[in-house]
Amino acid sequence: MDDTALESDEDILDYNGEFNNSTPCKVPSKCENEIIGIDSLTKCFEQRYDACPLFFRGSLQDACQEAFNPVSFDFVGSNGLCWEIILEVIKYLSLNDAISAFSTNILSLLNNHSIKFQLSNPDIPFIKMILRKLKPEQIVSLQLNGVRIWSETGLTFLSVFKDVISMNLLNLPYNSEINKYEKYFPNLTCLSLCYDNEVNLNTFSSVFNQLWYRITRFEIRCAGTLCTHYTIYQSKAPYRVNFDVKYFLFDVGQFPLISMSNCLGYYKSCCLKSIIILIKQMKNI
C-alpha cells in the first residue's frame, strides 16, 4: 500500500478508533462481545467503502465456501432483476454456462418453462444428471470437440436428445467420420465446423463429401484459409456436387493471414479461388 493511501486512511480514522464527523462510526478498541464487534466493524466497513466490496460476516472457512458456491448469493435480490429477465438472459447461454452461473438448482425452473438449450461437450455422468431434471426435447443443439473420439456408448447416450437440429464440431480433423451422426441424430439439419486455425480447403473434400441429405445449412468458421500453393499436400478426392445444402456460411475471423496473402505461386487472391470452388459445389444455395 502506498503512502498516499495510508495518509488517506489516517485522515478518515481518528486515533481513538472513531471515524470523523463525515462518517460517524466507532470501532471498539477492545472487543468483549464477538457479535457486537463484528456488527460494529461491518457498519464501519459499509460506511467507509459504501458497501463495495461486500462485507462477509462469518468465518474464513464459511467465506471460502460461499465464494466458490455458484449460488452463494441471492441473484434476484442482489441484482434487483426479476426471474423473467433472468430467464431471457439464460436463453443466450449454453446449458453448461447456465449451470455454472446458477448451479443445478436452476434446472427445475428451466424444466417448468421448457427452455431450449445447447449442450456443450458433456460426459456421461453429466448427461445422466440432466435427464433426471430436464426433458430430453429441451436440448436442441450440441457442441462437441471434434478431436474427441466418441465411443458408441457415448453417442448412444447423446442420442436420447432426439430433437437436436444443430451440431457444432470444434477443430474437426479432416479424416474424421461425420456421417455417423446421421444415425444418432436423425433430425439434424445444421452442421457448423469451427476451427481455431486456418482451413485447408485442398483437403477439406474428405469432410464435405460426407454431408448427408438432411444437412440443409452448412457453416465453416475459421481463422482463415490456406492458399492452394501453401502446402504440398493435396487431396486426391475431388469435391462432390451437393444439392441438399441451401444455406452456407463461411466466417473468416482474421483477414488476411500470412498464408492467405503470401501465395507461394505468386497468384493474387489464390485463397479466394479455393473458397469459390467449394461454393460452386453447392448448387442450391
Considering only residues 237 and 285, tell me which one the structure prediction assigns the higher pLDDT. Answer: 285
Give the pLDDT band of residue 246 (cuts 50, 70, 90).
Answer: very high
- 25 with 85, same domain: the answer is no
pLDDT digits (tens, 9 = 90+) for 168-224: 999 999 989 999 999 999 999 999 999 998 888 888 999 999 999 999 999 999 988
The last residue of one of the domains, among 66, 100, 120, is: 66
- 23 with 157, same domain: the answer is no
Task: Identify the top-confidence range among 58-62, 92-96, 246-250.
Answer: 246-250
- The three-state DSSP-derived secondary structure of the chain is CCHHHHHHHHHHECCCCEECCCCCCECCCCCCCHHHHHHHHHHHHHHHHCCCCCCCCCCHHHHHHHHCCCCCCCHHHHHCCCHHHHHHHHCCCCHHHHHHHHCHHHHHHHHHHCCCEEEECCCHHHHHHHHHHCCHHHEEEEEEECCCCCCHHHHHHHCCCCCCCEEEEECCCCCCCCCCHHHHCCCCCEEEEECCCEECCCCCHHHHCCCCCCCCEEEEEECEECCCCCCCCCCCCCCCCECCCCEEEEEECCCCCHHHHCCCCCCCCHHHHHHHHHHHCECCC
The last residue of one of the domains, among 66, 91, 115, is: 66
Question: What residue numbers bound the domain in which 200 lies?
Answer: 78-280
The last residue of one of the domains, among 41, 66, 91, is: 66
- 107 with 12, same domain: the answer is no
pLDDT digits (tens, 9 = 90+) for 30-80: 666 666 677 777 777 767 765 555 566 666 666 655 554 544 445 555 555
